Amino acid sequence: MIQRCALTLTAAGLMAGCGGVVSSEPQRGEIVGAIYGDMESVVSVPDTVRVDQSFPVSIRTFFGCNVEPGRTETETTRLHATITPYMNWRYSSSCPDHGIGNDLRQIYVRFDRAGTGEITVTGLDRISWPPHEPPGDTVRVYRTVRVVRSK
């Protein structure tokens, strides 16, 4: 813990005072992941999959010195899957470089019937810094797969 103190010069002389306690721990949080970039290559799925067999959905998310990949939320109903990747952020003065890298996530989805499967990936179009500032705009990337019965 760090205690914040100040010296003040007044007509009566020099006064010292200490204020509230400030934590030395970095700030932390979770935000929706940034999936900006070439939207044609950010999300990829197979052309054809089989009923009741899991298949990979690849999502390229971005991170930096203060932002790392987090959990992924997936919801599947009939022939529709919604995927939302998250990022964990921390603010620390020991990490001044805000360089950006990317993370290729593979999430497995399964559809229980034949037809056209729809996949929606929701993310942000950019990373705002610090993350508690207004985030980037929400972007959705849509993909379809042909779901066929097993022979």
Residues contacting residue 1 through CB under 8 Å, at least 6 positions apart:
21, 22, 23, 24
The answer to whether residue 6 is domain-embedded is no
The answer to whether residue 8 is domain-embedded is no
- Number of domains forming the structure of the chain: 1
pLDDT tens per residue, range 65-101: 677 788 999 999 999 999 999 988 776 666 655 556 6
Give kind and range of the element (H or E) at residue 109.
Answer: strand 100-109
Instruction: Say whether pLDDT at 33 is over 70.
Output: yes
The answer to whether residue 2 is domain-embedded is no
The answer to whether residue 20 is domain-embedded is no
Beta-bridged to residue 69, according to DSSP, are 87
The answer to whether residue 18 is domain-embedded is no
Tell me the two tokens of residue 100: 């950006």
pTM across the whole model:
0.74
The answer to whether residue 139 is domain-embedded is yes
DSSP 42: H
Which domain CATH number covers 97?
2.60.40
pLDDT tens per residue, range 103-128: 788 999 999 999 999 999 999 887 66
Predicted pLDDT at 10:
46
The answer to whether residue 131 is domain-embedded is yes
Give CA–CA dist 115/118, Å, rounded. 10
**Which residue range forms the structural domain that includes residue 136?**
26-148
